[in-house]
Structure 1
Amino acid sequence: MSTLTLPAPAKLNRLLHITGRRPDGYHTLQTLFQIIDLCDQLTLTARDDGVIQLVNRISGVADDDNLIVRAAKLLQQASGTRQGVTLALEKKLPMGGGLGGGSSDAATTLVGLNTLWQLAFSLDELATLGLQLGADVPVFVHGHSAWAEGVGEQLTSATLDTPWFVIIHPGVSVSTPAVFQDPQLTRDSRPITMARALQGGASEWRNDCETVVKQRYPAIAEALDWLSQHAPSRLTGTGACVFAAFNNAQTAHTVAKAAAPYGSAWVARGLNTSPLHDALGC
């Protein structure tokens, strides 16, 4: 096996509670990550010269800052392998959308290279490496919808409902650091248990970043208010994407088509197991 083509799925934060702020400036949180079937696609081709090569660059992102290049170099260094890889990324997920695209791309790189290079790292070992790249990387490495705590790295697998989601990207870029530094951000949500969160269900879920983001980005507020007319709607992560769940694909597609004035819209199915792990039999 010299080439693998693998999906890098998106996620939604079905809820996001900010429970505190650590001395180092990072915020503690509780969230429900749900994998969805909207994916980037990554092709990895093994090479024997040790070179990590990216063939299609992202405008404005230097290769050394690209998460898939960083992930490949990190695994290469951790394993001591002399192998290299050529990476080709087909980008479908919007950058800065709150869908975890960059983190998922990095996770697919780690999991895919573990197979391609025949390294036999465990998923736990890969997740520990991935945490160096970003707090959302471990959930994609483990490949299952999950309850998360800490800065998002303390994961417990969760089985969620699997509706059809309408996702709207209003075409603006959200500054995550600015959101978390905003003095109006809620930082003292009372911690709850995973069982209580699941028992409460979607009708009680919220995103603590939403009020600040709506104030700072009117286009997101407009998209969220419009989508809320059709179903309970929330921000994912710090945005810019907003989403709502529907019971059937036909209704979801009708709403997504009508969302055109508010930005780019997609329909995606909620999943509990990552298509990456389905592809590799993890």
Structure 2
Amino acid sequence: MTLDEFFNKKLNIRMEVSIKSPAKVNLHLEIIGRRNDEYHEIISLFQSITLFDEISVRAASGNRRCEIQGQPDIPLKDNLIYRAVKLFLEESGIDSGFSVNIVKRIPMGAGLGGGSGNAAAVLEAINILCGTKWDTERLGNLGIRLGSDVPFFLKSVAAIVRGRGEEITGLKPRVDYFIIVVNPGININTSKAYSLYDASISENSKKRDVFSLATLEEEYFEKPPSMWRFFNSFYQVISKKHPLLDEIKKDFSSLRADYVGLSGSGSSIFGIFSQQSSAERAEKALKNKYTQVWLVKPLDRKPEAVLKY
């Protein structure tokens, strides 16, 4: 059955699904080692934040055609929205296309998960439009084929993520703090970041103790941000290549941030503030120096998709 036939029976072809696609920060990101499948084993604490891209999806004519508006030109092989549409259509056997419109606010290559979140949002939207009713587990199995962070965005807003991204333990998010994100505009490729990390490791390198699931949960829930012992395994190699990251981190420290971290493989640096007044003062100071600065909150629930007629 083509999607056109499907819609004639089930849905109005003018239907559109709108959904917000959030960014995330990694409060903790620990690289444990390289796996036999060439991916890296990690344990990380993900937290979605109130910085969003806005996505709307509707049916389009043409066999498995995908139109994308509002996104900078990206080669199709690297475009996660395009790949998400194609993969869903291949797996469902539906033989038609979709039009995707995106209002892009999350910078690319910044370690904030913008592309992965967009892919997750598009999978959710198409699932609604087609009435396939696939659960998050099935969508997550598609998502991991697109990118390691995609399953997180499908399943949770706060989670401990293990393996290469497929093992997700959802957490009740803490919302008793504020986050300021500074993006210095340095586009960092994740694969290259892993290569830099691998090259920095030798047999004699002193490894930090691996956080267990229980230890991460205890650190997150029981301690104030000023006492968090979280870290990011990428920071040392990325900041060595891009010294500006050290400068941003020092700026946060001088503004009395409770905790400062690198998100993903960079280049965004974020600071945690327990008090809104302190966060607002820091935001004002940082905006005098950096172009891309956002004061946000941890997200406490997944954005709901809205079906429009």
TM-score by length of 2: 0.84
| Structure 2: distance between partners of 1:63 and 1:112 | 20
Alpha-carbon offset, residue 263 of structure 1? 4.2
The change in CA–CA distance for 1:48 and 1:171 in structure 2 (over 3 A counts) is: closer
Task: Please give the secondary structure, in 1, of the residue aligned with 2:50.
Answer: strand
Residues 71, 104 of structure 2: 8 Å contact kept: no
Per-residue CA deviation, residues 34-91 of structure 1 (Å, 9 max, x unaligned), is 11111101111123544321133413x1245311111011101111113421111111
Residues 40, 92 of structure 1: 8 Å contact kept: yes
Task: Report what 1:253 is aligned to.
Answer: 280
- The structure 2 residue matched to 1:242, chosen from 269, 275, 278, is 269
Q: Which has the larger radius of gyration?
A: 2
| Structure 1: distance between partners of 2:267 and 2:304 | 25
Question: Aligned ranges for residues 133-144 of structure 1 at < 5 Å?
Answer: 133-144=146-157
Task: Please give the secondary structure, in 2, of the residue aligned with 1:130.
Answer: helix
Task: Report what 1:156 is aligned to.
Answer: 169
| Structure 2: distance between partners of 1:86 and 1:248 | 42
Task: Please give the secondary structure, in 2, of the residue aligned with 1:270.
Answer: coil
Alpha-carbon offset, residue 189 of structure 1? 4.2
The change in CA–CA distance for 1:22 and 1:228 in structure 2 (over 3 A counts) is: same
Please provide the CA RMSD for this pair: 2.0
Residues 18, 188 of structure 1: 8 Å contact kept: no
Alpha-carbon offset, residue 6 of structure 1? 0.9
Task: Report what 2:7 is aligned to.
Answer: none
Alpha-carbon offset, residue 187 of structure 1? 9.1
Task: Report what 1:228 is aligned to.
Answer: 253
Task: Report what 1:197 is aligned to.
Answer: 216
Regions of 4+ moved over 6 Å: none
Q: How many residues align?
A: 278
The change in CA–CA distance for 1:192 and 1:218 in structure 2 (over 3 A counts) is: closer
- The structure 1 residue matched to 2:294, chosen from 259, 266, 274, is 266
The change in CA–CA distance for 1:92 and 1:13 in structure 2 (over 3 A counts) is: same
Question: Where does the alignment leave 5 or more consecutive residues of structure 2 unmatched?
Answer: 1-11
- The structure 2 residue matched to 1:212, chosen from 229, 234, 237, is 237
Worse-matched range after superposition: 208-217 or 131-140:
208-217
TM-score by length of 1: 0.91
Task: Report what 1:90 is aligned to.
Answer: 103
Question: Aligned ranges for residues 175-186 of structure 1 at < 5 Å?
Answer: 175-182=189-196, 183-184=199-200
